[in-house]
Amino acid sequence: MSNNPKTLSVILIMTHLVAFIVGVALVNYANSPAIAPKAQVAEVSEANPQIAIDYNTMKEQYEKMNERITFLENQNMDYTWQITSLGTEILERDTEISNLKSEIKSLKNDIIMLNFILESQNNKTSNEIVQNNSIVIAPEPTPPAVEADTVYTPYMSYPPYGSRGTMPYPTAYATVTPNVVKFSSGLSIEEIVNKIRFNISYLDHKTDGYPYMIQYADETLVRGKGDCTDKALLLFSCLVSKGYSVNDMGIAAISKCDGQALHDVIIIKNLAANKDNFGKYHFDVDGETFYILDPTNSLSTNAYEVSPQYKDCLIVGNLYFYDTNKGKGWMPYKIQ
């Protein structure tokens, strides 16, 4: 057999195969954890506790963050509830204030009517005029116009407050709208003046954040309030709706004779009313007589009087007409 080359080759191959298998087994055994170097095993065993510590720390932080989130969510719910409660309370208080304002306005109207009735009764005997041995009862003055609150909706667009001018020219602010026609329909001049005096509340525009601001006549009706300028422009618009010429009226700035307390009123000529009612409150401009109407004066039952602080002595200053080229600067005309 030793002389057979084929047999010898097979033996060599088998020998190499066995040697290869044994070598692989030895390598695997040498690399197994069971016989790993002692230092390596020690390193791994020391690292495991640190990993555990890091994990526990992260877990604690996670739990604390969850607790913080839960706390903030609960706090947010509390704040939301408080805000909702405050909003409800504010709405209730606002409703109460509105109701009180309406009640106050109604009481003021009642007082005005009572004053008128008392004044009429006190002056009843003086209203009897003897003519030709017969007694004629003079007509009683028209009572102040008092009506239930009417809601007006805007019939025009109003420019922003900050973009408006500071001169009350009727050309710009006294446009006649359906609101104006409705407000003045069927009323005499005296009744319109009284209606503006007592039904349009006084408004200081400083409460709107503007030291001086002009409203449109339609806007004054929509808001139900305005200052002396706004009321004068509304009266101008109402009289135009009643057929008065825009060229027969204007807005005048008056003051006390010491120059204090500037105040806007309306001036009118060719008036279809007894001019004696105006007393001394008239003046001449370029040969034409203009009479003063003060729709802001709420302290008298007489529609033809000016506010009390101007009764003794007043100065007529700037005039603003529909024709903007006709306006005059501070004149002044003194009435005393």
What number is the average pLDDT over the span 288-316? 85
Are 315 and 255 in contact by the 8 Å Cβ rule? The answer is yes
Closest by CA to 335, choosing from 232, 265, 272, is: 265
Q: Based on the number of CB atoms within 10 Å of its own CB, is 273 exposed (0-12), middle (13-18) or buried (19 or more)?
A: middle
Phi, psi angles (nearest 5°) of residue 135: -95, 125
pLDDT of residue 140: 39
pLDDT beyond 70 at 119 = no
**Average predicted confidence (pLDDT) for the chain:** 76
| 3-state DSSP assignment of residue 105 | helix
What number is the average pLDDT over the span 248-267? 89
Are 282 and 131 in contact by the 8 Å Cβ rule? The answer is no
**How far, in Å, CA of 96 to CA of 156, rounded?**
31
**How far, in Å, CA of 205 to CA of 129, rounded?**
47
Closest by CA to 202, choosing from 220, 187, 179, 190, is: 220
Location of structure tokens 């529909």: 322
Q: CA angle, 323 as apex, 215 and 163 as ends, to 5°?
A: 35
pLDDT of residue 36: 45
**How far, in Å, CA of 3 to CA of 14, rounded?**
18
pLDDT of residue 10: 59
Location of structure tokens 């209730």: 92
Task: Pick the more confident residue, 264 or 93.
Answer: 264
Phi, psi angles (nearest 5°) of residue 209: 90, 15
Q: Where residue 304 falls among pLDDT bands split at 50, 70, 90?
A: confident
Q: For the segment 58-102, what is each residue's pLDDT rounded down to a tens digit?
A: 888 888 898 889 999 888 888 888 888 888 888 777 777 866 765
Residue 203: count of CB within 10 angstroms of its CB: 18
Q: Cα 246 from chain centroid? A: 32
What number is the average pLDDT over the span 282-303? 84
What number is the average pLDDT over the span 12-33? 60
Q: Based on the number of CB atoms within 10 Å of its own CB, is 88 exposed (0-12), middle (13-18) or buried (19 or more)?
A: exposed
Q: Sign of the C-alpha dihedral, residues 60, 61, 62, 64? A: positive
Amino acid at 101: K
Percent above pLDDT 70 for the chain: 68
| 96 DSSP 8-state letter | H
Q: Where residue 28 falls among pLDDT bands split at 50, 70, 90?
A: low
pLDDT beyond 80 at 266 = yes
Q: Where residue 239 falls among pLDDT bands split at 50, 70, 90?
A: very high
pLDDT of residue 220: 95
pLDDT beyond 80 at 20 = no
Strand partners, 255: 315
pLDDT of residue 77: 86
Q: For the segment 120-162, what is each residue's pLDDT rounded down to a tens digit?
A: 555 444 444 434 444 333 343 434 444 546 789 998 899 988 8
Q: CA angle, 162 as apex, 160 and 164 as ends, to 5°?
A: 75
Q: For the segment 196-227, what is each residue's pLDDT rounded down to a tens digit?
A: 999 999 988 888 788 888 999 999 999 999 99
Location of structure tokens 């709208």: 177
Closest by CA to 220, choosing from 233, 207, 239, 204, is: 233
In which element (H, E) is residue 284 found?
strand 282-285
Percent above pLDDT 90 for the chain: 24
pTM: 0.58
pLDDT beyond 70 at 171 = yes
Q: Which two three-digit tokens encode residue 36?
A: 């790993």
pLDDT beyond 90 at 52 = no
Are 179 and 218 in contact by the 8 Å Cβ rule? The answer is yes
Are 335 and 280 in contact by the 8 Å Cβ rule? The answer is yes
Are 208 and 201 in contact by the 8 Å Cβ rule? The answer is no
pLDDT beyond 90 at 305 = no
